[in-house]
Amino acid sequence: MLNSVPTLTDETIESFKYMNFPDIAIKVILKFIGNIISEEKLQQIVNNALNFNIPLERIANNDYICYLDRGPTSSFKDFGARMLARIMEHFLEIDNKNITILTATSGDTGGAVAQAFYKMSRIKVVVLYPKNEISILQRKQMTTLGENVSALGIKGKFDDCQRLVKTAFADKELSHINLSSANSINFGRLVPQTLYYFWSCSRIIDKKNEEVIFSVPSGNFGNLTGGLIAKKMGLPIKKFISAVNENNEFPTFLRTGVYTKVEPSINCISNAMNVGHPSNLARIFDLYGGQIDEKGLIHRMPNMEELRKDIVSYSISDELTKETIVNFYKEYKKIIEPHGAVGWAALQNYRNNYPKNNDVKSITFETANPSKFPKDIINLINIIPEMPQSLKLIQDKPEFPNPKKISNYSDFKEFLLKEFQD
């Protein structure tokens, strides 16, 4: 599918400079979906789904930060989840069908998906989360909704939730339930994740043929994949900096050509990036002519020369992440949270290693709001980060009790069958 990425002309991309975010978004999305959604309907979907700001701020010299944390769950996952929800609902309406989204979450995805699909009449949502491994706020983003959203706390790790979901998808006795996933390799989530690349680039380019560097905090590599697609569509991107935490399987692969997943994944403070074998790596390999399977075995090597030309990747330790949060506050009087700090630290590595590119502007993505990590921020800089209104509302809401205690697959299956018996 990715071999047929559509392209935009240079003139179109240059014209983005004079357009607002929704208009750019519509131009880009229409390239993918042609006329299967009318422009008017798409406009409605975009305005409704992406109804929040995307601030871009110059921090120092040529280095900017683009804030992707202004959606209702304060994580960049709102972009993909909210667009996917509305596009799905649109097509289900046309086909007169209903579906059930079944998804496992390590924290942020479940909240973004639950909030995005809340009250959609043709879609039920079942989210599984590791009961003792997510924050209270992350849990509340799923458990305070009710209606069409069921959130099931599982005693175990993310991998256990994932296993239950995968087993359900393969179970023939559940085939009457129209199950669908909303995970990050879903194309409906990737396309919206190209939009802020086009938008942020258009705000800072002011010369013809000017290129931009992006530093992307990476876990499952969906964000980076969105960027690579944007580049393939024609966006003038000089380099991607793929910034990972101590789960360093990707930078090691780039350097050595040998891929070894990190198993079990390492727990770092940038917890949405604790991924030891990113599922979107399959997409990235595909974009560069390679093939890798779910287990992490490479069947065909991607074009390493091209891959290294486009992407440089750095692994940032927790220690350096914390140091970055402290120094960032000292120097700029602004708070950066752990995921953004990994991106910013990787950018500093790049600037030190490639001083000849210092005149090329860079954009680092801040992917979450600091108030989601109050403990770390308070410990490091002794400031309580202000919570956005949308999170305050969630924090104060009562939770629905866990709908069923689930200890194994048969419990889970029983829940699904009961829930969907009619």
Q: How many CA atoms lie within 13 A of 182 on its CB side?
A: 35
Determine the Cα angle at 66 with ends 21 and 310, to 5°: 95
Among 245, 367, 371, 390, binds ligand PLP (CB under 6 A): 367
Nearest to 337 by CA among 364, 371, 379: 371
d(CA 185, CA 86): 17
Residues 6 or more apart in contact with residue 276 via CB below 8 angstroms: 247, 249, 261, 262, 263, 264, 265, 266
By CB under 6 A, residue 219 contacts ligand PLP: yes
Closer to ligand PLP by Cβ: residue 37 or 130: 130
Q: Which stretch binds ligand PLP (CB under 6 A): 87-95, 217-225, 246-254, 324-332?
A: 217-225
Q: What is the DSSP secondary-structure string of 335-346?
A: ---HHHHHHHHH
Q: Which stretch binds ligand PLP (CB under 6 A): 38-46, 211-219, 230-238, 404-412?
A: 211-219
CB atoms near residue 212 (< 10 Å): 21
Beta-bridged to residue 364, according to DSSP, are 65, 215
Q: Which stretch binds ligand PLP (CB under 6 A): 47-55, 132-140, 199-207, 214-222?
A: 214-222
By CB under 6 A, residue 366 contacts ligand PLP: no
Closer to ligand PLP by Cβ: residue 64 or 221: 221
State the number of binding residues for ligand PLP (CB under 6 A): 16
Sequence length of the chain is 422
By CB under 6 A, residue 265 contacts ligand PLP: no
Task: Decide the pairing of beta strands 298-300 and 311-315.
Answer: unpaired
Minimum distance, C-beta of residue 95 to ligand PLP, in the bound complex (Å)? 29
Q: Which stretch binds ligand PLP (CB under 6 A): 44-52, 212-220, 259-267, 398-406?
A: 212-220
Please list the alpha-helical segments (H only) found in 122-243: 136-143, 158-170, 187-190, 192-204, 222-232
Closer to ligand PLP by Cβ: residue 72 or 222: 222
Q: What is the DSSP secondary-structure string of 12-38?
A: HHHHGGGS-HHHHHHHHHHHHHTTSS-
By CB under 6 A, residue 248 contacts ligand PLP: no
Angle, helix 158-170 to helix 409-419, in steps of 10 degrees: 60
Minimum distance, C-beta of residue 15 to ligand PLP, in the bound complex (Å)? 28
Closer to ligand PLP by Cβ: residue 117 or 221: 221
Closer to ligand PLP by Cβ: residue 242 or 412: 242
Q: Which stretch binds ligand PLP (CB under 6 A): 1-9, 41-49, 218-226, 283-291?
A: 218-226
Among 67, 79, 221, 285, binds ligand PLP (CB under 6 A): 221
Minimum distance, C-beta of residue 75 to ligand PLP, in the bound complex (Å)? 4
Residues 6 or more apart in contact with residue 367 via CB below 8 angstroms: 68, 69, 75, 76, 217, 223, 272, 339, 340, 343
By CB under 6 A, residue 162 contacts ligand PLP: no
Nearest to 372 by CA among 363, 362, 385: 385
Q: Which stretch binds ligand PLP (CB under 6 A): 45-53, 216-224, 347-355, 375-383?
A: 216-224
> What does the binding site for ligand PLP look like in residue numbers (CB under 6 A)?
75, 77, 108, 184, 217-223, 272-273, 339, 367-368
